[in-house]
Amino acid sequence: MTTPALSPLLDGLRVVDADTHITEPHDLWTSRAPKEYAERVPRVVPVDGVAHWTVDGKVLGRASASGVVGRDGRRTRGTEFIGWTFEDATPAAYDVAERLAVMDELGVWAHIVYPNVAGFGGQRFGEVTDARLRLLSVTLYNDAMAELQESSGGRLFPMGLIPWWDVDASVREVERIHALGLRGVNTTSDPHQAAGTPDFSSRAWDPLWEVCADLGKPVNFHIGAAHDSLSWFGSSPWPGLGPDQKLAVGSSMMYLTNARVIANFIYSGVLERHPRLKIVSVESGIGWIPFFLEALEHQLGETTPGSMDHLTLSPTEYFRRQIHACFWFENQDIARTIERVGADNVLFETDFPHPTCLYPDSLGIAARALEQLPPDVVRKVMQDNSARLYDLPLPR
């Protein structure tokens, strides 16, 4: 289904939204946990009269709406949503039937889905001290996401979390989520923030990249997927700004945090050693990417001779071969931007139902960009690239 205004641009396409979120039901973990862990897995309890998510007694944060779309379908602006509870959220944030109904109204066929409670990259679970509970929190989430995907009839595709603090356990979980039918991996960008865990430049992680490549599981890095990148949100605005101004500055700065992820994957040689590995920069936009790739290429000439001899391609060539990035609100000179980034490397997203999402006129807003693109590029960024990358069973 497409809106009438966009039917000439999207006629016959199954639009894929490459970045959306779930507001986790309060019983997502407790309803699936072994009896002895029922009160230790992530669950909602009152703290000073306010519902909070906790795990093993540790408070993770308020049990909020995790979005800006209310129960009545109204989109709020500014910081009002911060005080919302789960009950204030649109049912489409957590109920499959309601989600599909909204997708039909918006003209979107499929959603790629990311978490909230665990952190956008599962980084919050690294704070759990009990090893068994930490792993259980990941596996129960993935089980729930496989059920969600199945019940959606192949229209909702959550990315599976991995136990990023343990290389061998991560490999096993990738194999398990593949068996569950999940289409990709979602993880933190900075596993070394946990004591004793190597960073992703270490060859210790080669088995993970190998299994992801072998099983066709793209590795997704959502902005805010590490404690350090989230700090940009709080530290970027000047203290004297008001709440709405701080939200705007912090949100804008977070889009750029994945630049360091791209730089590290390229310069470290991970992409050189694993040419079939696919990386996705989620909710980061694309306008800055041509400049940044040019900057990476410039910096190659500033390094000590021989220090980058392990690289056989340029940063742009690695990007074109192995990295994808998402756009949503950008429209100024978008045709030239997509040409420079690579028409095969760009995905469309809306960030539903988070702040900055395009709801309630997702494709109407996107039309300003799509009208600048030739039909074959529209087809790639709105459907084919995501369908190919995530191996989506889109109906004809």
The predicted model scores a pTM of: 0.95
The range of the structural domain enclosing residue 99 comes to: 4-38+94-389
Structural domain includes residue 298:
yes
Of 324, 292, 355, which Cα lies nearest the Cα of 220? 324
CA distances 262 to 56, 71, 256, 307, 385, Å, are: 35, 37, 11, 19, 19
Structural domain includes residue 83:
no
Q: Is the peptide bond before 239 cis (omega within 30 degrees of 0)?
A: no
Report the domain count for the chain: 1
Structural domain includes residue 57:
no
Structural domain includes residue 77:
no
Buried residues in 347-356 as b, exposed as e (16+ CB within 10 A): bbbbbbbbbb
State the DSSP string of 341-364: H-TTSEEE---TTSTT--TTSHHH
Residue 295 sits in a domain whose CATH number is 3.20.20.140
Residue pLDDT tens, the chain, 396 long: 344 455 588 999 999 999 999 999 999 999 999 999 999 999 999 999 999 999 999 999 999 999 999 999 999 998 899 999 999 999 999 999 999 999 999 999 999 999 999 999 999 999 899 999 999 999 999 999 999 999 999 999 999 999 999 999 999 999 999 999 999 999 999 999 887 899 999 999 999 999 999 999 999 999 998 876 666 567 889 999 999 899 889 888 989 999 999 999 999 999 999 999 999 999 999 999 999 999 999 999 998 999 999 999 999 999 999 999 999 999 999 999 999 999 999 999 999 999 999 999 999 999 999 999 999 999 999 999 999 999 999 997
* Under 8 Å between Cβ of 44 and 24: no
